[in-house]
């Protein structure tokens, strides 16, 4: 039986990422993959998100943030590892 490692990553997405269904697209993908966390718009025009779950599933969300939904223009993504906090569900702020 394989041991499942839970990871947590914080991403900040720069570019044309607000007003293009970025947050809702992230939420839908997170819910499909069973990833917990949150996503929100920041006042500086970035989108910030935290993902917690199995490493492979979290990496899928990070990879999505690097390209975004069809209307987005992602210029840069900052990714930081953080200790998992055991959050439940996925929230959009």
Active site residues: 23, 41
- For residues 77 and 17, is the Cβ–Cβ distance under 8 A? no
- The whole-angstrom separation of Cα 44 and Cα 51 is 21
- The whole-angstrom separation of Cα 81 and Cα 62 is 11
């Amino acid at each position: 039986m394989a041991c499942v490692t839970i990871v947590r990553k914080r991403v900040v997405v720069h570019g044309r990422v607000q007003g293009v269904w970025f947050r809702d697209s992230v939420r839908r993908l997170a819910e499909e993959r069973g990833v917990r966390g949150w996503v929100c718009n920041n006042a500086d025009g970035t989108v910030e998100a935290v993902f917690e779950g199995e490493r492979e599933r979290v990496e899928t969300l990070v990879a999505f943030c690097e390209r975004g939904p069809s209307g987005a223009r992602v210029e840069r993504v900052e990714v930081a590892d953080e200790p998992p906090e055991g959050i439940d569900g996925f929230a959009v702020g």
